[in-house]
Structure 1
Amino acid sequence: LIDIEICYKCLAKNKKCSAKCSYFYHNSDILKVPVENNGIEKFLVYAAQYIICRRCEEKFCVTACPNEALEKNEKGILQRYSMRCTSCKTCSVACPFGTIYPEILPYKTSKCDFCIDRSNARLTDGGQGKPPLCVETCSEKALQFVEVEESPEKNIYLIKERVAIHGLPWNKEAKVGVPK
């Protein structure tokens, strides 16, 4: 569960995200170069798109993209294919609500494995293993490794098979990324 409200409050304080990621492509020890480890940002961006996107009936942003890098799934959730996106920003211009923010969409494309080694430890030692590294290292506790059910009344939405967000109610006057 990603709690967007907590995460955005932390970002509003200009704090650097403390959540670490053990995913192979985010690990500076393996790559032998300094790496800005922002594995959680991909989920944060996906969650932000889910909350911010107004889900237009006519998909102006999708139609405008010359590289077919955007698509909306059956729930109307905007999905960006990082390898196709050239950051031309035509989707931003086409969005009638101005809610596509290309500056928060990193080019990284990877898939979280929920720290499979740590997960296996949880299964083999009677549940005494450790949670995923991002959950353990998020100083504000915006990340939790728990089972939840979708509950629009509580602003909890399932955005992927194993990922849920606790979002903010939409506020027209709110600044981008800063909850009221």
Structure 2
Amino acid sequence: MAKPNPLQAQLLKAGLVKKSQVADAAREQNKALHAKGPAKPDEIAQQVERARAEKAERDRALAAERKAQARVAELRAQARQIIQDKKVPRTGESEYRFNAGGAIRTLLVDDAQRKLLATGALVIAAIGERYELLPRAAADKVIERDPAMVVLDHGKADATPAASTSEDDAYYAQFEVPDDLVW
């Protein structure tokens, strides 16, 4: 056993501590003196850890972006499938003209389809370079997935009220519109 320090010796002589307590205290001091402390991380290890964390964050961001792109592609595919499944066959020889992509396009429809297009019961949707007629229920499903695929929808125009419709109606009431006007 190591020689106790003078304070320990005095406490031992006075009978305030036991010999085992002095030995325990000496052992603790020796252990504290010779024990290795926790290794401090050096600069290189910190930089490596920081780089690893940044890479993990970039990877998470890229994965989220890829997942979002995949979701958009999936929704577009669903919209195309709905259009393919629910399209209304076009019958008739009357031309119906509409604006799509900055150009005037033409579809051949019959009179019943023309009236349904005017009321918004039918809409026109685009698949690539083709245009198809869709019923309102199918069009709503397509709009949920990809609103850009619906080219012409007279039904949604009713949802947004005009600011001065009564003034305009009063002014235009003086002009007669021919019944056989077809654009």
TM-score bin, normalised by smaller chain: under 0.3
Q: TM-score, normalised by structure 2?
A: 0.23
Indicate the structure with greater strand content.
2
* Greater RCO, CA 8 A, separation 6+: 1
Q: TM-score, normalised by structure 1?
A: 0.23
